[in-house]
Amino acid sequence: MSPGKRASNSEAAAPMAAGARLESMRRRVRLSRVAVLTAIAAGPIALCVAVASTPTTVQAATPNKPTAVRTAAAAADPSGYAQLFLGAWLRSSAGDETSAQARLAQSMAPGVDLPTPGSDAHPAPQSVTAVRSAQRGGDAWSVTVAAQYADGSVRYYAVPVVADGAGASFTVTGAPGVVAGPAHASVPKSPYGETVPEGGLSSAVGEFLAAYLTGAGEVDRYLAPGVTLTRVSPAPYTAVTVQQVSATEEAAAAKKVPADGTTVHVLASVEARDATGRWPLAYELTLKARSGRWEVAALQSGTAQDRGAR
């Protein structure tokens, strides 16, 4: 066969091959439709088998990420609002409803009557402080507020308040009532049971607190490596004297400085002096031993809790 005839036959065969492939695809589609219709006619079980034979892609469900929840109670605590109201209410009078304190009290507690103090009544309180709040249920709260007077007496009031869930709005719902003050809580046993004698540890504590409170010397020289602590500025005292040092660990009472890395927790009672007098103060410190000396690793605030068995 000549080259020209072969080329002509190839050109003619290409459309025929393409048409054959297209017809084959159409035939498969028709057969698939027939299979599905047959399965439907045969019943649900056959249909499930037909569907199961079809490849499917399954995407795993993404687990829900934990969401931080902020309780409405924490946001809505109306202690400050009750404190502000009681201060204005105690400093107002029904005989002078146009005063600034009376207008403030009435705006915070619509419908609540103002007091009518007599000539021998307590003067206005020196300070008013919220000491306790309790949620009664829903949006209702009861806030206990203490009023302290110049003669040293204290009177406690319960103020009823409603607050929206977001803490964006408050209203005093009734007149305050005089109540008993909070009871005294029992004091737990101090965890600082070891008395630290005069020596390296008590000296380190005294020198550090002197630098911290009086500005005498650099604070950094008494700190463990990596610890940063800024001294009080301006320095409030002119002298600091250690009265007693107690610790939670027996190692703090040893005559010699223990091995490097030994950590002790101490409570230092000190006497600070300034131009106006002397002031008893207390500090909780963590110290670590290094190279034969004690270094301050932390200055805590608040009351230490018992750290359990040691």
Complete domains list, the chain, with CATH? 73-115+124-179 (3.10.450), 194-300 (3.10.450.540)
Helix axis angle, 100-108 to 79-90, nearest 10°: 140
* Contact assessment for residue 297 and residue 290, using Cβ atoms and an 8 Å cutoff: no
pTM comes to 0.63
Residue 58: the pLDDT is 41
Q: What is the DSSP string of 171-225?
A: EE-S--EEEPPPPPPPPPPPS--EEPPSSHHHHHHHHHHHHHHH--S-SGGGBPT
For the stretch 155-164, pLDDT in tens is 999 999 999 8
- The larger pLDDT score, comparing residue 298 to residue 309, is at 298
- The larger pLDDT score, comparing residue 268 to residue 300, is at 268
- The larger pLDDT score, comparing residue 39 to residue 183, is at 183
What mean pLDDT comes out for the span 214-236? 93
* Contact assessment for residue 287 and residue 293, using Cβ atoms and an 8 Å cutoff: no
Residue 118: the pLDDT is 83
118-127, 183-192, 200-209: range with lowest mean pLDDT:
118-127
7-11, 21-25, 230-234, 259-263: range with lowest mean pLDDT:
7-11
pLDDT band at 214 (very low <50, low <70, confident <90, very high): very high
